[in-house]
Structure 1
Amino acid sequence: MTSPAAATSTDATAPAKSHYVILDGLRGVAALMVVAFHLFEAHAGGSPHKQIINHGYLAVDFFFLLSGFVVAYAYDDRWGGMSQWAFYKRRLVRLQPMIVVGTLIGAALLGLQHWSLFPKLETVTALQLLGIILLGVMMIPMAPSAEPRGWGEIYPLNGPQWSLFYEYVANILYAVGLRKLSNRWLGALVAVAAVALVGLLVMGPRGDVVGGWALDAQGVRIGLSRVMFPFFAGVLLMRLGKRIKVRNAFAVCSLLLVLALSLPRFGGTERLWINGLYEAACVILLFPLIVAIGAGEKDADGPSVRIARFFGDLSYPLYITHYPLIYIYTGWVVDRKVGPAQGAMVGAGVFVLAVTIAYACLKLLDEPARRWLARRVLARA
């Protein structure tokens, strides 16, 4: 039987288990870096070599690693009394409310995005918009030919939703059978996924992992390559019990993560493979090290950890609701030819607004919706 406390929990972790507060906080740090990356990206003119926070997109790969770790911690020992469908319901309750909210915010702000950067938006009818909303809330990806923005996004109202699509793919693979793999076979799978990721990074056309949001062969390859290694490496890391205890773990891990995402792009325009090697080292070596340090202490306390807990709660709403504002900001920057210095005040305002919207969504929509759904959907045996 599912206990009432477990049924109404708004987190993946069962109430009887303690939380990895530092890992929650690191998720928040990564989400803040994503927002900053997207704001600076508006000034890069589409060139990765002009980006200021050069590797900010790797935060998504860090999210996948954390997700694998937390899913294994929360569910590995519960399969004796839990069906696959019960697992899917729990993941839907955890993730789907904010996907719906992010889609609706994207639809509500579409009218403010009629910049020259998005000329196709002028032709979108109310009926088409309704169809796009329904596809978005149901997590059905759009084909490039039907996408109204011209960026090839599978979720054009809220671009970052593509990573939740692959999050669901990884969760399904875990539940269907990969959870049953021994550590040895899981390690073999992770090793093969690491080779595929290195191949993409070193031999690919960009020397980075940017992509995954398009429904074409290259987009699917990038999306699967980006999720398979970190998610299942997170599962394996949890199972192996590798933990590293250091003082001020949250500060140390945050510094390592911010530096990894912010260092200059390596190799220039001629030797893209060098940047690929750097990003492979981040995803395959550094990020698991950061998680091992962050997992070294559960239920820590102190001012920095209380901050970590706050941004951990905020991280998912912030990640899944900020990008409609980025569409508006990017269109303004491109149309008005605004430089980073000129746009600093507006960019800072967008950053604060994104955090404010995320917090309001967390408290007014996400947490109440998850509690309601948990009582209705999860409270039965």
Structure 2
Amino acid sequence: MEQHTAVIDRSAIQDDRIAPKGKDEIDALTGVRGAAAVIVIAYHSYPAADFPYGISHLVARGYLAVDIFFVLSGFVMALTYGRMFRDGVTAPAFFTFLMRRVARLYPLYICFLALRIAYSLAVYGSLQVPNGWFAMNLPLPIKDVIANIFMIQSWGVAKAVTTPTWSISTEWGAYFVFPFIVGGILFRRPAYAMLSLLAAAALIVAAGALTGYDGMHHNGALDAYDGRTFIPMLRCLGGFTFGLLTYRLYQWPPAKRLAASGIGWTALAYIMLCLVLHLPDQVIYPAFPLLVLCLACDKGALAKLFSWKPLMQLGVLSYTIYVIHNVWIGLVHWLIKHLPSTMPTAVAQTMSAVFLIASLYVVGSFLHHWVEVPGRTIVRRMGDRAAEYFRPRPRPPVLSRG
């Protein structure tokens, strides 16, 4: 009987740019990742700002851009690694996949975490510093630090040391689930995909409902971020599963033709209309997988809009600037605070936002090239060497006695 082994085609693994095997990069998906990062940064900087042209409505619900990240992550994982687990989960494939994700997430993450721990201890002698910039204020320092080191803080365990990393922790959890569900979602009968669709929808509805009972402040039903509850994990797993299902549609020619017909503009207009009308998060959510599908398939004006080079470059740097942006906002807070006293509020807020993005771009570029990329290379090499221990060894021939 023929045995199928999971093999990674390394040419298909592109962490910063999204490209299927043997095809050109899907520029628009890299660009939408950059746009989502900008929206999250604006939301954390100006949650109640008065921007012109209705931009305030977009910024006020900017937490929903994280859900686009979750959907996009599921899509990219299916595109890049889905075939590794078509015939089931093997130890070599599982280990190699996880090490690839560690290489992507961990080098910058652990360097930034270590820097904050060292700063807090060196300057304040404590990990419980209420108002110190760059310092930590952890309720349970030992437990919180250990959970954050292993990226399990948002599995209902602890507080995220750097607030935005709650979503990185939940994605890390989704990666452990991915090998066991992707084969069924992508390659089994449509009925299995339909059940997965219902499960994903149930997770999103449950996350939105449970935020009303967790005792936290939320700007909307899906604004679930405190990893000390399991709600953020539900939110991530729902979006991640929608991304896997979106990739299954991406492989279906009729869906590709429909997505390339201009329906992406409708999805984008629907999102903006829902934001202006203050409709519930769960009503907006179905447009996110549709937008990702359309951007993956479309070669028209919408794809060109999101393929704009500055957006694409922000997409390449999106992980770096996402990790550091919350701390960076504190560093430039003086600008956000004092500019409105010298000019109209809308102009001041717009200028400070531009400065914030520009400075994040410079710092993010430095960290990307000198920390993230070299660290990723080192971890990948370590993972490739360690993976050899999981590979089956050829058995020596059995000599028969005559």
Shorter-chain TM band: 0.7 to 0.9
Alpha carbons 1:155, 1:161 under 8 Å: kept: yes
Question: 83, 94, 113: which is aligned to 2:104?
Answer: 94
Structure 1: 5+ residue runs without aligned partners? 45-49, 147-152, 267-274
Change (3 A) 1:3 1:196: closer
Change (3 A) 1:376 1:304: same
SS in 1 for 2:130: helix
Change (3 A) 1:125 1:238: closer
Identity of aligned residues (%): 21
- The answer for the alignment partner of 1:159 in structure 2 is 163
1:211 aligned to 2:230? Answer: no
> Aligned equivalents of 1:194 and 1:22: distance in 2?
26
> Aligned equivalents of 1:29 and 1:283: distance in 2?
17
Q: TM-score normalised to the size of structure 1?
A: 0.72
Alpha carbons 2:130, 2:137 under 8 Å: kept: no
- Deviation of the 1:71 alpha carbon: 0.5
1:374 aligned to 2:380? Answer: yes
> Aligned equivalents of 2:26 and 2:181: distance in 1?
26
Alpha carbons 1:25, 1:310 under 8 Å: kept: yes
> Aligned equivalents of 1:166 and 1:38: distance in 2?
19
Q: How does 1:88-127 map to 2 (within 5 A)?
A: 88-104=98-114, 106=116, 120-121=130-131
- The answer for the alignment partner of 2:307 in structure 1 is 305
Alpha carbons 2:320, 2:368 under 8 Å: kept: yes
Change (3 A) 1:255 1:51: closer
Change (3 A) 1:3 1:336: closer
> Aligned equivalents of 1:54 and 1:199: distance in 2?
22
SS in 2 for 1:120: coil
For the pair shown, the structure with the greater C-alpha radius of gyration is 2
> Aligned equivalents of 2:35 and 2:83: distance in 1?
29
- The answer for the alignment partner of 2:172 in structure 1 is 168
- Deviation of the 1:66 alpha carbon: 0.4
- Deviation of the 1:171 alpha carbon: 1.4
> Aligned equivalents of 2:271 and 2:318: distance in 1?
15
Change (3 A) 1:133 1:237: same
- The answer for the alignment partner of 1:271 in structure 2 is none
Aligned length: 345
Q: TM-score normalised to the size of structure 2?
A: 0.69
> Aligned equivalents of 1:133 and 1:202: distance in 2?
30
Question: 198, 203, 210: which is aligned to 2:205?
Answer: 198
Alpha carbons 1:162, 1:212 under 8 Å: kept: yes
SS in 1 for 2:289: helix
> Aligned equivalents of 1:131 and 1:201: distance in 2?
28
Change (3 A) 1:302 1:22: closer
CA RMSD of aligned residues (A): 4.5
Deviates more, 1:86-95 or 1:129-138: 129-138
Change (3 A) 1:125 1:8: same
- The answer for the alignment partner of 1:294 in structure 2 is 295
SS in 2 for 1:322: helix
Change (3 A) 1:260 1:211: farther
Question: 255, 260, 271: which is aligned to 1:245?
Answer: 260
- Deviation of the 1:291 alpha carbon: 1.0
- Deviation of the 1:168 alpha carbon: 1.2
Which structure would you say has the larger RCO, counting Cα contacts within 8 Å and 6 or more residues apart? 1
- Deviation of the 1:18 alpha carbon: 4.4
Structure 2: 5+ residue runs without aligned partners? 1-5, 51-55, 213-217, 389-402
Question: 234, 237, 262: which is aligned to 2:243?
Answer: 234
> Aligned equivalents of 1:306 and 1:124: distance in 2?
37
